[in-house]
A and B are shown apart, each in its own frame.
Chain A
Amino acid sequence: MASDVREQAHGSVASQLHSSEEDRAFDMTTSEKVVELLNQAALISTEEKLIVLKQVQELIINKDPSLLDNFLDEIIAFQTDKSIEVRKFVIGFIEEACKRDCELLLRLIANLNMLMRDESVNVVKKAILTLSQLYKVALQWLVRTKSVSDMQEACWDMVTQLKEDVLALLDSDNDGVRTYAIKFTESLIITLSPRTPDSDTPKKQEGDISLDKIPKDHTYIRYDTLCDEGKLALEQLLKFMVHPAISSINLTAALGSLATLARQRPMFMSEVVQAYETLHANLPPTLAKSQVSSVRKNLKLHLVSVLKHPSSVDFQGQISTLLLDLGMSQSEISRCTPATVQPRKRLHHEPYVEGKRTKMVEDDDDKEEPAPVVTPKPSSSSGTQSSIDLTAEFLLPLLNPENVANLVLISMVYLPEVMPASFQATYTPVESAGTDAQIKHLARLMATQMTAAGLGPGLELCKARDEEVKEEDGGMGESSSKDPLIIRKLSAVSLGQAISVVGAQQAAYKSPVTEEAPQIKKLPEPILPTTQPKAPGASGRKKVFKLADVVQPFSEAQIEKLANMAIKRILQSEKAIAQSGMSHVRVKLLARLVTQFEGGKKNDLLQFILEDMRGRSELAFSLLFHEYNEYLGQQPSGSLDSYEHCLFTLLSGLQEKPEQRDGLFTKLVLEAPVITDSALEVIQRYCEDESRVYLGMSTLKELILKRPSRQYQYLNVLLNLSSHEKEKVRSTALSFIKRMYEKEHLKDCIEKFALTYMQFLVHPNPPSLLFGAGEDTEVAASWTEETVRQCLYLYLSLLPVNHCLVHELAAVYTEAIADIKRSVLRVIEQPIRGMGMSSPDLLLLVENCPKGAETLVTRCLHILTDKVPPSPELVERVRDLYHKRVPDVRFLIPVINGLEKNEVIQALPKLIKLNPIVVKEVFNRLLGTQHSEGSPSMSPLTPGELLIALHNIDSSKCDMKSIIKATNLCFGEKNVYTSEVLAVVMQQLMEQTPLPILLMRTVIQSLTMYPRLAGFVMNILARLIHKQVWKYPKVWEGFVKCCQRTKPQSYNVLLQLPPPQLASVFERCPEMREPLLQHVHAFTPHQVHSIQAHIPASVMAVLEANSRKPEPEPQPELHHPEIIEEREVCCDEAEVATDLFFCFVMYIRV
């Protein structure tokens, strides 16, 4: 059958094998199947071999154990397999097999022994693991058998031998093997020690054998031997732990093992805790930094797990000290401490804090009546323990400051060059330096070291075991005298922190409040249960000191008073402490203390700070930060009230102080963790103070820029200040805002604010907001210049920076009432000028000119062109506006100098019809006689051309009186219209046909202004005669008038007139005739002669004629009084009304 299978196996690949084997699984016996599988296993690869072998194991161990014996040898044969994994499997198989049938140990233990010496460490490790199981199995098996055979003896001997071998492997070269050996040792110690009621045994190991189950009268197994072996193993483990070059992995494993031991066998707790202590004080120097931290983590973890065990009660002192050193907080520690301390019937180990007395009594007990179950403690370890205690006791009184200082100085010499990693990682500043607890801790640390080095009185004492009682009597005396000391210290500490606070050294300052807590909580527990049972035994020789008997608790008021006084003393000791250079400690202390108290003390301290803010700023900051810390500590339910109060008081104090120039306010604001609303109000008040406005706002600005989370709130404060009624405050705020406006993220907010304020202008009444808080009731107030400005300050200062805002103004303007409009027009000059006429937005505004905003636009135009000639773009826009949308000629005025000549001439009729003041302005612009000096006149018209243009205005388009007034304006400008200019004008006018109506008026005017033009005028007159001036009635009239004024020069001209016209002259001015006649008669003969030639007889006839002849051309409406006479003309009423406003627009100068 087997050969069959083999044949088949030969021809098949593995996969086929599997399927075929499954096919036949039904009709094969288990035995056949095992054979087949084993045959396969011999031939296939390791991977599959393992699978197959596992199947075999399952079959013969679990399915049909009767087969186990049959196939044992076949499977064991694989122990020489090449593959490590297969060899490991064999070990696993041995374990399972032996657990199934202990008898097999006899056969298999030797194999295990062999595999234990395998060349592969992996196999060795597996063997160690298996041995830790089989050791228990073997022991149990032997204990069960009453009569032990030789075979069994040999087997057990081998097991023992193997055990020794594994223990020896603690010194193996291989780190991993050592780790397994440690775990083996752990389980060995557990097995070889008795389980006690307080053992913390895992459920699955409930049934495992341990020393307490071994009968003392067994034929072969010796209880005592095993017990000693267990102790020896523990010693080896402990020794292993203190090896200075232990690897971190081994250390971790050993730490865990010890914790397990302590929990499962509390009798070893003392050794374990001590080992932990020793390790903590002597971390191997070979560890790297991360390893140190890992080891410390483990140490902490295991200490906590040990601490949780109820039996740890006697070691709580040591454990808590260690845990504190490892960085655990007192509260965490007390959480892990077992809540109820069960009063233990027997104390096998002396408590830490308690004096020698208890222990001595206990030790005596141990010796006299050993517990039936519990093994007597190994004397060596007990000796070590007590010797450490003894040495510590011995050292304690010696550790006075002087000695310690000497020790430190001496040991300086031995310090290594480089700080070892272990020290660096474990070092924490000694928090409780100088306190009793710390001195005790130190004494114990030193005692540990000394005992390890074989020094110290404790060790000597233990060596002389029989003398111990006497020796310890001495120690007892020492301790009894010390007990009250401890308690007194405690009472002081628990009742008033003030006592140690004032006069004490640096150490006492550190943190009295936080340190007291642990002592109060920790110490009473070990003291009370141990003192009481002791009392009767102490035979009344010593009265037990109980704190409660001798002191009364203070009343609330007393406590309060004492605390107050203490704080006061600290406050007042300012100078003394400053001299000692410890002021930072004082500051910290005060801040901490006061933060924890309510009310009065806080105010006292704040008052104190404010008395000399500069000198005590450090205290102020410290207090503030503590308050904030307190708040954070109470998250999420904490309230900021206390912090707010503190900050508010400090800031207001600073704000109210008259002179404070060193930026303390700024510093406080900027360093405060949170600016509360009330603090912000103080800042605002600070900013409103004219003398400090700059500093205040710089602070505010810093806040805005550096505290982005609430920057809009801060910004709002600043924005509100921008409409402040105090000019200095306002302008400073504006300049700050302007700078901030450049920041992209603040831009929107600022802009919005400005626009909101401007929007107020459309309301019928100014909003109460403008009057500041508290005046809300006064709603009915009307707009004043001031309130309007208030709404615009910010906007106007932004305008030159952001031109597009101008459109908003236009929108508001159209809706606003007239009063506001006027104010607006008054205030925009500066910003509009700042924008300049090239601003695209301004041009756009001009182009669009919203309905109702015409005056605004005009005003803008005026402001822009006031000092500079208009740009072509602007002219273009205005021209468009004028032609296409609003044909109001007044738009053209500002840009008139930019227009074409003919455009001006076209517009002239309309222009001169405007209000005289406006007309004057127009002419000023045209004539370049503006107020501005130096700007080159770019007028499209020369003065002469202008005057001519005026003369040529079609009288149908414009009434004469306006034209006259316009020309009068021209004549008013004597500097421009010089005699030369006028001469040219007259010349040109005279050459026109038909003659302009106003020609003669201008001539007369010119003559009046410049009498020396008389000759030229005569010339003109003469030429007019040629042009038959009498055909133009009005001109003719002027002509006559002119002649009349210019007599006698005009006589010659008159004489040139044709007789009918001359007659007409005389008709108008009869008084002229006589002088003219005389003039003719007065001619010298020579003159007569020449003149005669010129004076026709007809003329003479007219001259001499006395009779009145009918006029050739009667002219009924000859008199045009308006033309000739310069009367004040009264304009149309309506026109005046519209124009007045316009004049206002042009002439306001802010």
Chain B
Amino acid sequence: MPAHPLRVAVVCSSNQNRSMEAHNILSKRGFDVRSFGTGTHVKLPGPAPDKPNIYDFKTTYEQMYNDLVRKDKELYTQNGILHMLDRNKRIKTQPERFQSCKEQFDLVITCEERVYDQVLEDLNSREQETFQPVHVINVDIQDNHEEATLGAFLICELCQCAPCGVRDPVRGLGLVQLRRRLRGGQREQAGAGPGAGSPDGLLHQLDPAVAGPSA
């Protein structure tokens, strides 16, 4: 039994859909997982594409839920936002911003390339202390409910296929294998829905900077 379970962070833009879906599934499978967003605000679809609902990261899911119920219950029930928020508030109270978290992780999974860039930028801007590496893997997921579910399973598979490897991914079941499996999965995904991640949607990066001070 490993000394400490794999510490996973799933990061998307608003910490609502993709990261929370993965958070949900990973925590059900027993992973030590946290989820984050990298955006400056939490954005949820509004009545029109150019009128999103914008909250800050301090707003709880509960508050968002109530706010949307008040605004247009029908609309947000119909597009699944309320359902999503309901799910989220059962998992944790409010969205969290990756840049504000100083915890250490073994594996950071991002859900789109822009987020990946932001995570890298943030990690690189931190001061080095422990020199502990962290894996940052991007899994391109389109921001909708279906793709989020598919993506969450993919991420779960990714985490599962290297139970020891992730803690020491360079040894044993190497990343090459991991990557191969993930690519295979992505190809499936690409077949399943249009716009799913392209084969090179996977970017792997081993970052020497540390996601926080050592405990």
Interface residues in A, total, Cβ within 8 A: 42
Are B171's CB and A294's CB within 8 A?
no
Contacts known (A122-B168, A176-B169); A289 close to B130, Cβ less than 8 A: no
Distance in angstroms between the alpha carbons of A46 and B2 in the assembled complex: 9
A-B residue pair count with CB separations less than 8 angstroms: 96
Q: Chain A: which residue is nearest B206 at the CB level?
A: A249
Residues of A within 8 A of B130 (CB): 129
Could you say which of A106-114, A201-209, A974-982 contacts chain B? A201-209
Contact of A121 among B117, B171, B175 (CB under 8 A): B171
Are A256's CB and B124's CB within 8 A?
yes
Q: Chain A: which residue is nearest B130 at the CB level?
A: A129
Q: Chain B: which residue is nearest A126 at the CB level?
A: B132
Distance in angstroms between the alpha carbons of A203 and B168 in the assembled complex: 30
Are B127's CB and A205's CB within 8 A?
yes
Distance in angstroms between the alpha carbons of A546 and B130 in the assembled complex: 53
Are B3's CB and A291's CB within 8 A?
no
Task: Give the Cβ gap from A240 to chain B, nearest Cβ, in Å.
Answer: 14
Does any Cβ of B come within 8 Å of A253's Cβ? yes
Does any Cβ of A come within 8 Å of B103's Cβ? no
Q: Which of B3, B116, B203 counts the most A-chain CB atoms under 10 A from its CB? A: B3
Does any Cβ of B come within 8 Å of A305's Cβ? yes
Residues of B within 8 A of A552 (CB): none
Residues of A within 8 A of B169 (CB): 176
- Which bucket holds chain B's interface residue count? 20 to 34
Does any Cβ of A come within 8 Å of B77's Cβ? no
Does any Cβ of B come within 8 Å of A132's Cβ? yes
Q: Chain B: which residue is nearest A291 at the CB level?
A: B204
Are B205's CB and A204's CB within 8 A?
no
Residues of A within 8 A of B168 (CB): 121-122, 176
Does any Cβ of B come within 8 Å of A301's Cβ? yes
Question: In chain B between 178 and 215, which residues have their CB closer than 8 angstroms to a CB of chain A?
Answer: 199-209
Q: Chain B: which residue is nearest A421 at the CB level?
A: B200
Task: Give the Cβ gap from A788 to chain B, nearest Cβ, in Å.
Answer: 44
Give per-residue flags for A231-255: 1 if the beta carbon is below 8 A from chain B beta carbons, else 0.
0000000000000000011001100
Distance in angstroms between the alpha carbons of A290 and B209 in the assembled complex: 21
Are B120's CB and A301's CB within 8 A?
yes
Residues of B within 8 A of A289 (CB): 199-200
Residues of A within 8 A of B101 (CB): none
Does any Cβ of A come within 8 Å of B121's Cβ? yes
Are A175's CB and B170's CB within 8 A?
yes
Distance in angstroms between the alpha carbons of A290 and B180 in the assembled complex: 12
Distance in angstroms between the alpha carbons of A184 and B132 in the assembled complex: 11
Residues of A within 8 A of B133 (CB): 176, 179-180, 183, 253
Q: Which of A257, A259, A301, A302 counts the most B-chain CB atoms under 10 A from its CB? A: A301
Give per-residue flags for B78-110: 1 if the beta carbon is below 8 A from chain A beta carbons, else 0.
000000000000000000000000000000000
Are B171's CB and A179's CB within 8 A?
no
Residues of B within 8 A of A841 (CB): none
Residues of A within 8 A of B203 (CB): 290, 293-294, 297
Task: Give the Cβ gap from A173 to chain B, nearest Cβ, in Å.
Answer: 11
Residues of A within 8 A of B171 (CB): 121-122, 174, 176
Are B3's CB and A176's CB within 8 A?
no
Does any Cβ of A come within 8 Å of B128's Cβ? yes
Are B132's CB and A248's CB within 8 A?
no
Contacts known (A50-B3, A121-B168, A260-B128); A297 close to B209, Cβ less than 8 A: no
Are B208's CB and A182's CB within 8 A?
yes
Question: In chain A between 173 and 207, which residues have their CB closer than 8 angstroms to a CB of chain B?
Answer: 174-177, 179-180, 182-184, 186-187, 202-205
Task: Give the Cβ gap from A143 to chain B, nearest Cβ, in Å.
Answer: 23
Q: Chain B: which residue is nearest A125 at the CB level?
A: B168
Are B208's CB and A256's CB within 8 A?
yes
Give per-residue flags for B138-171: 1 if the beta carbon is below 8 A from chain A beta carbons, else 0.
0000000000000000000000000000011111
Give per-residue flags for A126-137: 1 if the beta carbon is below 8 A from chain B beta carbons, else 0.
000100100000
- What residues of chain A have their CB less than 8 Å away from a CB belonging to chain B? 46-47, 50, 83, 85, 121-122, 129, 132, 174-177, 179-180, 182-184, 186-187, 202-205, 248-249, 252-253, 256-257, 259-260, 289-291, 293-294, 297-298, 301-302, 305
For the complex of A and B, 3 pairs with smallest distance between CB atoms: A176-B170, A85-B3, A202-B127
Can you name 12 A-B pairs with beta carbons within 8 Å? A122-B171, A129-B130, A175-B174, A179-B133, A179-B206, A249-B204, A252-B207, A253-B207, A257-B208, A290-B204, A294-B204, A305-B125
- What residues of chain B have their CB less than 8 Å away from a CB belonging to chain A? 1-3, 116-117, 120-121, 124-125, 127-133, 167-171, 174-175, 199-209
Beyond A121-B171, A249-B204, A290-B201, 14 additional contacts (C-beta under 8 Å) are: A47-B1, A122-B167, A174-B171, A180-B131, A183-B208, A186-B208, A252-B206, A253-B133, A253-B206, A253-B207, A256-B207, A297-B116, A297-B203, A301-B117
